[in-house]
Structure 1
Amino acid sequence: MAPTTCGSMTTSSTPCTAMAASAIARRSSARCVGSWPETAATDRPRVDEASYWIPRRVVHAGCLFLGVLLFTVAVGLGFWLRAMAGFLIVEASPLGPVDAIVVLGGGQPEGTREARAAEIYRRGLAPTVVTTGGPVLGEARATYADFSVQRLVRRGVPRESVVATNVGDSTVTDAQGARVLAERNGWRSLIVVTDSWHSRRARMAFDFVFAGSPIAIAHAPATSPRFAPDAWWLDEASALFVLSEYAKLAAFLIGYPPETYDSPG
């Protein structure tokens, strides 16, 4: 019988045991197809399970570090969240006698703005209270200024001491209406009342509108029971106040550059 060749390996017909012939055949077949027989399980390197063991003190130190890190992040995040609300709140001006108190329209139904204005009025700091705000959406012939008048009267302010402008669809137009009224009456000083979370934008709007005017503006923010500045992100109403105010501040800065406003007289 002629020898059979596979690669460089030659098998002959020389008698051999069946086991040896079978082993040679399997080895030759593996080399011909370009693959190698699988390594026996006993030939694989053993993994020392002890090499994966982490000392307990290392685990404790890692947990402590992670806890400190999470605490630091939480404290830092809380600080910046409170700072966001704090920026919106303007510190109240020292209050003295003025010509009129201006209550900005569009406040909350509980009337915190009107309550603050009525308090200032009862202190005898102004003879007149001005309400602002144009038509209320969905209300026939009703204005925000009219609603403020009703709340002021319920809090003891005489109706004859209240002047409703019935104009204004934004904080800027409220300020414009207040300047027109002040100049027509020869007023030289005003106290502006609004909710605390709205006071930053209100001051910016009045600074813009009254730029170049000799009329002095003081601010008296009202504290709202619905606004929690120290945990506003946990309260739905407070979160709405803060987020909407920042959106409106951005719109104000884009739409009203810091230029002098010319009163229409």
Structure 2
Amino acid sequence: MRGRALRWAGRAVLGVVLVGLLVVGGTAFRVWQVARADERPAADAIVVLGAAQYHGTPSEIFQARLDKARALHDSGVADVIVTSGGRGVGDTFTEAGAGADWLAERGVPEADLVPVEQGRDTLRSLRAVADEARARGWSDVVIVSDPWHSLRARIMAEDIGLRAATSPTHSGPVVQTRETQFRYILRETAALLYYRLSKEPADQADGLGVR
């Protein structure tokens, strides 16, 4: 009897491990799959998720997102670009404000820019964007972020009530090396699983802009 019980316990543990591997592997595959897509439907707004800025100058990662949003705007995907992200501790500028200034300096009409200057992580930034969208009667958005961040951002946006497509960047520091891409996929897989379990954002990760 004891041997049979041990065998059943071993099988149960193995089953749990296999299910866990399938969940993690399936999530990682979806992060990779959505990262490769580039959706450009007509929308009410293009939403650029914020990243680091330094004294009003967007970081390389943020600039890649902003440049992609500008290209979508120029191609007619939406008339409006929403920049998102609040002010960090000790910062003078918000991410949204720095992003809007950067776009205006490169020819995007200020009337087409809507900075939403709240939120220091993806979920809270998207909640602030959703409030702005509802106030303006918008429902359809195209989210611009890094490739590996796109699935989590889309799921969060849809949970908040937006109809979201994703058009990720395919340039910038986060896609330059396979090592960086692999680290980002692992980090985003963990962050997405954490969000699905808790409905809360993961803590900001080291150097990759994952929030």
What is the TM-score with the length of structure 2 in the denominator? 0.68
1:242 aligned partner: 185
Change (3 A) 1:194 1:228: closer
TM-superposed deviation, 1:103: 0.7
Give per-residue Cα distances to partners, 1:4-27, cap 9 Å, x unaligned. Answer: xxxxxxxxxxxxxxxxxxxxxxxx
SS at match of 1:89: helix
Q: Pick one of 153, 157, 170 that aligns with 1:202.
A: 153
Q: Pick one of 90, 104, 117 that aligns with 2:69.
A: 117
What is the TM-score with the length of structure 1 in the denominator? 0.55
For residues 239 and 91 of structure 1, the distance between their equivalents in structure 2, rounded to whole angstroms, comes to 17
Counterpart of 1:114, as a letter, is L
Change (3 A) 1:183 1:240: same
For residues 143 and 240 of structure 1, the distance between their equivalents in structure 2, rounded to whole angstroms, comes to 27
Q: State yes or no: 1:227 paired with 2:174.
A: yes
Give per-residue Cα distances to partners, 1:164-214, cap 9 Å, x unaligned. Answer: 11011221112211211111111132111111121111112112111xxxx
SS at match of 2:82: strand
Q: Pick one of 135, 147, 152 that aligns with 1:184.
A: 135
Which of 1 and 2 has greater Rg?
1
Segments of 5+ residues of structure 2 without an aligned counterpart are 1-25, 53-57, 201-211
For residues 41 and 151 of structure 2, the distance between their equivalents in structure 1, rounded to whole angstroms, comes to 21
For residues 228 and 162 of structure 1, the distance between their equivalents in structure 2, rounded to whole angstroms, comes to 27
For residues 137 and 194 of structure 1, the distance between their equivalents in structure 2, rounded to whole angstroms, comes to 23
RMSD (Å) for aligned C-alpha atoms: 2.7
Matched ranges for 1:78-227 at <5 A: 86-87=32-33, 89=35, 91-93=37-39, 95-106=40-51, 109-110=59-60, 111-140=63-92, 142-210=93-161, 215-227=162-174
Counterpart of 2:59, as a letter, is P
SS at match of 1:192: strand
SS at match of 1:92: coil
SS at match of 1:187: coil
For residues 173 and 164 of structure 1, the distance between their equivalents in structure 2, rounded to whole angstroms, comes to 14
For residues 99 and 207 of structure 1, the distance between their equivalents in structure 2, rounded to whole angstroms, comes to 15
Q: Report if aligned partners of 2:85, 2:125 keep a CA contact under 8 Å in 1.
A: yes
Among all aligned residue pairs of Structure 1 and Structure 2, give the percentage whose two residues are the same amino acid.
Answer: 27
Q: Report if aligned partners of 2:146, 2:174 keep a CA contact under 8 Å in 1.
A: no
Moved over 6 A (4+): none
Q: Report if aligned partners of 1:97, 1:124 keep a CA contact under 8 Å in 2.
A: yes
Segments of 5+ residues of structure 1 without an aligned counterpart are 1-79, 258-265
TM-superposed deviation, 1:88: 6.2
How many residues are treated as equivalent by the alignment? 167
Matched ranges for 1:27-42 at <5 A: none
